[in-house]
Amino acid sequence: MGEYTGNFTSDHGDMDSSHRMEHKSTLYQEAIKIPFIICSPDISEPGQSDDTHLISNGLDILPTICDYSALSVSGLKGFSLKPIIEDRKNIVWRDYLGVESAVGRAIITERYKYAVYDLGKKEIQLMNLKNNPGEMKSSDKKVSGLQEKFQEFFGTEERDVPLLLDSLIYA
């Protein structure tokens, strides 16, 4: 990274009256998507926003810093954002991301969110984020592979999965 590189992020979003809620207490997109801004002289097109890659601030910041610092670290769950920042083509990226909060856990893909609320009575939500971006109605249809991805990501009871970023903003 260049001499004056920095990043800005937050720990979670707020509901701001979406779904008649005023704070983070669900796995709705308004609560789990958060900002992440990178400022660097290495960015070829400042001001761009990437909302196509599933990015996690908790998982992806450390591999990114290590990559730019030429440090080799193994065993990290996250991915370096350097290929995205440098606008490389044919990037190999994750097709789903696990998200966790105090009330439950979810798997998010480009199209779907499968959420399990495990506080008290177990509730399951399946949202089609393309056809139902406001998440107003949970679907009762099954989506092949989502439950398996959920089990693969959350195979244990550990509750240390970071939150999904709203988008990567280049400054």
Q: Domain span at residue 18?
A: 6-170
Q: Would you say residue 1 lies in a domain?
A: no
Q: Each residue of 71-96: b (16+ CB within 10 Å) or e?
A: eeeeeebbbbbbbbbeeeeeeeebeb
85 close to 38: Cβ distance less than 8 angstroms: yes
Q: Would you say residue 148 lies in a domain?
A: yes
Name the residue with tokens 């998440």.
135
The alpha-helical segments, DSSP class H, found in the chain are 29-32, 57-68, 82-85, 146-153
Q: Would you say residue 117 lies in a domain?
A: yes
**Residue 119's pLDDT band (cuts 50, 70, 90):** confident
Q: Would you say residue 152 lies in a domain?
A: yes
* The pair of three-digit structure tokens given for residue 85, joined into one six-digit string: 């920042």
Res 15 pLDDT > 80: no
105 close to 32: Cβ distance less than 8 angstroms: no
For the chain, the domain total comes to: 1
Give the mean model confidence (pLDDT) for residues 37-53: 78
pLDDT for res 163: 38
Q: How far apart are the first and last CA of the chain?
A: 13
Q: Would you say residue 44 lies in a domain?
A: yes
Lowest mean pLDDT among 119-123, 134-138, 143-147, 163-167: 163-167
Q: Would you say residue 138 lies in a domain?
A: yes
Question: Residue 62: what are its φ and ψ, rounded to 5°?
Answer: -60, -50
pLDDT for res 151: 80
Residue 167 forms beta bridges with which residues?
Answer: 35
What region, left, alpha or beta, does residue 50 occupy, with left being phi > 0 and alpha being psi -120 to 50 degrees? beta
The reply to whether the predicted model has a pTM over 0.85 is no
For residue range 52-92, what is the model confidence (pLDDT) as tens digits?
888 887 788 889 888 888 898 888 888 998 888 877 788 88
**Coil, strand or helix: which one is 53?**
coil
What letter does residue 69 receive in the DSSP assignment?
T
* The pair of three-digit structure tokens given for residue 21, joined into one six-digit string: 């809620």
Give the mean model confidence (pLDDT) for residues 137-165: 66
* The pair of three-digit structure tokens given for residue 29, joined into one six-digit string: 């997109």
pLDDT for res 58: 79
34 close to 13: Cβ distance less than 8 angstroms: yes
More confident residue, 143 or 159: 143
Res 159 pLDDT > 70: no
73 close to 67: Cβ distance less than 8 angstroms: no
